[in-house]
Amino acid sequence: MKLYFASGNPHKKKEMSRLLGGWELVLPKEEGIEFDPEETGRDFIENATIKAEALYSIVHAPVIADDSGLMVKALGGKPGIHTARYGEEEKGRKLSAEEKYMLLLENMEGVEDRSAMFVTALCLILSPERRYIIQESCSGSIALAPSGTAGFGYDPVFYMDEAGMIAAELPEGEKDRYSHRGKAARLMRMLIEKEAGR
C-alpha cells in the first residue's frame, strides 16, 4: 500500500517508514504538492486529524499523519502541541533543533522536577468513512545536558525511563522499542496490514 505521509520532515519519514515495516511512504513535496496546513487543534489528535484531512482532500488516496510533542511537567505541559515551533515566537525566527533543546535546558535551569513525556497521535484516513486514530506516550525526564548523536529533535535531552538511557544514545531499533512513535506505529502497522489483507 502506498501511503501519503502528511509531513515535510524527512527524518520523520525515515523513522515512520522503518516503523511501518516497509510500506511506501510519500511526502507531499516529493510529488510537487504544496502542503502546509495551519495546525489549529487543541491537542495532538486534533492536529494529526487536521493534517490528514488536508492532505486527503488533495490526493484522495490513503494518508497517514502524525502529531507529536514533548510535555514537560514543570512547564505546565509545554511545549506540547507547539514543540516543533518552541521558542520561535519569542526569538522571531526559525530555530534549529539544537537551539530548541538548548533553550529548553535554559528554561529548566534549577528545576528539580524534570519529569516529562513524549506523546504521538497518528491519524490514518483510508476513505472519508474509514479512519483510525491512535495515541501513545513515552515517559521520561529532561536531562541536565545533551548527550548522544542518534535520533533527532529533542532526543539528546530526553531521558527515557523504560530504556534507562537518553533517547539520542540509543540505536534506531532500540529507540523504536520504547518511543512514543514506536508504540503508536506498531499498533497502526497491525491495522494497515489487516486492511491490506482485506
Annotated active-site positions, please? 67
Measure the CA–CA gap between 52 and 55, rounded to whole angstroms.
5
Tell how strand 2-5 and strand 63-72 pair up: parallel
Dmax (CA) for the chain in angstroms is 55
What is residue 97's three-state secondary structure? Answer: helix
Tell me the three cell numbers of residue 126.
Answer: 483510508
Place of cell 524534570: 114
Measure the CA–CA gap between 92 and 83, rounded to whole angstroms.
16
CA within 13 Å, CB half, 108: 28
Measure the CA–CA gap between 51 and 61, rounded to whole angstroms.
14
DSSP state of 20: T
- 3-state SS record for 155-173: HHHEEECCCCEEHHHCCHH
